Amino acid sequence: MKPMVINGSTRLYGIAGDPVAQVKTPELLNSFFQQTGINAVCVPLQVATSGFEASLRGVMQLSNLDGLVITVPHKVRACALTESLSAEALRVGAVNVLRRCEDGGWHGDMFDGTGLTVGLLRQGFVLKGQHVKQLGSGGSGAAVAFALLAAGAASVTLCDPDDNAAQALAQRINASYPQHPARVSDVPAELTGIDLLINCSPIGMKPDDGLPAPFADFNPSLQVVDIIMHPAETPLLAHARRAGCHAVNGKPMIEGQLAEFIHFFGLADKESLCARSR
């Protein structure tokens, strides 16, 4: 592999979040750029919540910036920075990618949900017919809940400290999937009848975080997902693995949507991406 060369013609991509130390997207995209000889680079952008809109609007004025990946906690607020949104982003109410259009405007889409389901199926998870307990109903959580039901999950039970957010998401889900009910629970540790537990909350990212709920010992048949990337072993995943559960972190979600990012940014068509993965 040739070393990356950055010059005056290099196109820019960024990933904006707070924090960004844990993100893997620059590593994955830059590897793709090197392998394909594309003169582009992806860099992390630490953008505080207090200055998010002003910071992003300034960055988006750079004429050599072609795209942005959006991560926590900005996925909902980033919608307002676009001129157009995909049907998925509109349904979910959040974006995790933005691209510059030919007219200079920005278009947003959301791939967290489809990326996760693709990644989990690759890891041998069963989704069809499963009853899901999901912690967190923010931008990623909304995308994940919709995608799990699209993949055939039987039901989703949502838990979030912001009960209004969870109720609003459940209503949107039920409008699209009335045959696969979404419910809201205020008892996150209750897992009776649950086949898949997924943490879409930020609890577990900080060194002093414990479990996202006061769980008892898990049944070994429970499937467990924590979409947090860093640390790789969160307290939830450690708890699950001690019980013998099939458990993964957020890496399959990122890897599952990498091809979608590349196609969305116009860097390769899906046929060539499929050929590269064979």
pLDDT means per 10 residues in the chain (278 residues)? 88 96 93 95 97 97 98 96 97 97 96 96 97 97 97 98 96 93 96 98 94 98 96 97 98 93 89 50
The whole model's pTM is what?
Answer: 0.91
Report d(CA 15, CA 67) in Å as an integer.
9
Task: Indicate the CATH number of 11-110 among 1.10.3730.10, 3.40.190.170, 3.40.50.10860, 3.50.50.60.
Answer: 3.40.50.10860
3-state secondary structure of 86: coil
Alpha helix (H) ranges present in 162-250?
163-176, 235-242
Name residue, tokens 């349904």: 91
Nearest to 212 by CA among 159, 145, 138: 159
Domains 11-110 and 113-252 share a fold: yes
- The residues pairing with 184 across neighbouring beta strands, listed in sequence order, are 158
Secondary-structure class of domain 113-252 per CATH: alpha beta
Catalytic-residue membership of 251: no
Look at the alpha carbons of 25, 27, 28, 31 in this order and tell me if their dihedral is positive or negative: positive
Q: What is the total residue count of the chain?
A: 278
Among the listed residues 24, 75, 128, 133, the single catalytic one is 75
Q: Which helix (H) or strand (E) holds 106?
A: strand 106-109
Q: What is the pLDDT of residue 278?
A: 44
Sort strands 196-199 and 182-184 into parallel, antiparallel or unpaired.
unpaired
Q: What is the pLDDT of residue 181?
A: 86
3-state secondary structure of 49: helix
Name residue, tokens 């070994």: 220
Alpha helix (H) ranges present in the chain?
25-36, 52-59, 87-92, 112-122, 139-150, 163-176, 235-242, 251-264, 270-277
- The domain locations on the chain are 11-110, 113-252
